[in-house]
Amino acid sequence: MVKILEVKNLYLDKPLWSFRESFGKFHVLFKSVSNEQEFYYTELLCLDTEHLIETSYQFNKAVHFIGEGNPSNVMFHGSIEQHLEGNMFNVSRLNLERFEDELVFSIKFEGNIKNIWNLRIRISPIDERYCLVFLSEDDLVLNKACYSRVTLVDYVEKKGYFIQQQDFPYLNVLLNIAVCKVGNQAKNIIFKSGRIQRFEKKSYWEEYYNSNGSYKVETLENLLILNKSEFIDCIKNKKNLSPIIFKDYDISRSVEVIGMVGDRFWFFEEDYKGDKTEIYAIDLETGSSTLKYKANEHYYSIEVFGGLLYGVREELKNKVYYSFETNAIHEFSYKEMVVYLDEAVRITARMYLDESIPRTASMRDSETYNIEVVKDGLTENAYTNKKFFYYFEENILLVY
């Protein structure tokens, strides 16, 4: 059964709070300021999932970028400062147990900081010591790399290592990164490159197939899995490394990362030429992959609930969730958002509508929902005017 955690003290300013990924044992909600030209975080609420303790923390300066979640109890974040000698991107590290916030390293960059929404910056932690910072100093151009440089930041040394092609032969994967995750107790790093959606790639494939081989958009995707220690040694000491897995996906095939399910890393491939979907599980220790499920069709998405995988089909009047494990079929209306599903429990959400407040496009980020928990056909619990986030790798549902 899914574990449900409810945060109850955010009602007064709910629209200002948002949830990101988990950081070790902590789930973190962020309060932010947002308008047409600027966006920054001001405060966080830290939920200790082991002891169910909530602690708030106010940043002492504007924080513009939050690092992605990671298995350790720390959070890397970034702030932009403008100086006479140029723009600086300051990378800091916050310990979520002691709330110690330290500046780690500053990177000078030439990007236009007049509008924060136009900046392409990403922070991907790989453990409590290291993070990767992806920066772009150019406007986004079709068929050009999304980022212009990548830096490995070392918290202990308070130093950054600019990654270069001659030292790391897979640099192009990082410059076009879509997914960066760690697995196997943070012993491995998984990179997925190719900033293109599956439906877009399928459309390009059909155009390519019907036009006898001409297309104008870069569609290459890669899946790269490395030993973390080897990767760090390669960047810092220019040592050779051998990928655990490195795969290319041309215009006829796509790859999508699912994540860690149990002790295996899962992903799925779509073959447009063969019109099939294949789901794989990888042992990150050995690199051996196993074909777990195969279907002669394409799914709208593949979801994970309680360690089980479901293929989602969109039909004329409803949505169908097909269990790869049990072959069971679960139907939902289009008005329902599926929050969680297993053979006994269905948790769904419908948009909460306050008729006294006119709806505008700008309200999308502040939308809330009515959430219903049904077990064995009977309503067990309900939450009104709430937001939610389901974290499948820990099987936790956060309601706030």
d(CA 342, CA 307) in angstroms, rounded, equals 9
- Is residue 256 a part of any domain in this protein? yes
- Dig out the tokens for 338 from the structure: 């599926």
Sequential DSSP letters for 352-376: ---TTS---GGGGGG--EEEEEEET
Enumerate residues 6+ apart whose C-beta is below 8 A from 233: 239, 241
- Is residue 148 a part of any domain in this protein? no
Is the Cα torsion angle 79, 81, 87, 91 positive or negative in sign? negative
Q: What is the pLDDT of residue 7?
A: 86
- Is residue 210 a part of any domain in this protein? yes
- Is residue 345 a part of any domain in this protein? no
- pLDDT above 80 for 315: yes
Give me the percent of the chain exceeding a pLDDT of 70. 90
Alpha-carbon Rg for the chain in angstroms:
22
Instruction: Give the total number of structural domains in the chain.
Output: 1
Range of the domain at 221: 165-260
- pLDDT above 70 for 82: yes
Q: What is the pLDDT of residue 360?
A: 44
Identify the CA nearest to 10 among candidates 27, 35, 23, 24: 27
- 234 — pLDDT class (breaks 50, 70, 90): very high
The pLDDT tens digits of the residues spanning 33-52 come to: 887 778 899 999 999 988 88
- pLDDT above 80 for 369: yes
- Is residue 190 a part of any domain in this protein? yes
Enumerate residues 6+ apart whose C-beta is below 8 A from 258: 266, 267, 268, 279, 302, 304, 309
- 379 — pLDDT class (breaks 50, 70, 90): very high
- pLDDT above 50 for 324: yes
Q: What is the pLDDT of residue 362?
A: 44
Most confident of 203-217, 222-236, 365-379: 222-236
- Is residue 318 a part of any domain in this protein? no
Q: What is the pLDDT of residue 359?
A: 44
Strands 3-6, 396-399: parallel, antiparallel or unpaired by DSSP?
parallel
- Is residue 304 a part of any domain in this protein? no
The pLDDT tens digits of the residues spanning 216-230 come to: 667 789 999 999 999
Enumerate the β-bridge partners of residue 333: 318
Order of strands, sheet of 53-63, starting from the edge strand that comes earlier in the sequence: 17-23, 26-34, 39-48, 53-63
Burial of 126 per CB tally in 10 Å (0-12, 13-18, 19+):
buried
CA distances from 318 to 61, 243, 327, 333, 345 (A): 47, 43, 18, 5, 19
- pLDDT above 80 for 363: no
- Is residue 19 a part of any domain in this protein? no
Buried b (16+ CB within 10 A) or exposed e, 265-298: bbbbbbebeeeebbbbbbebeeeebeebbebeeb
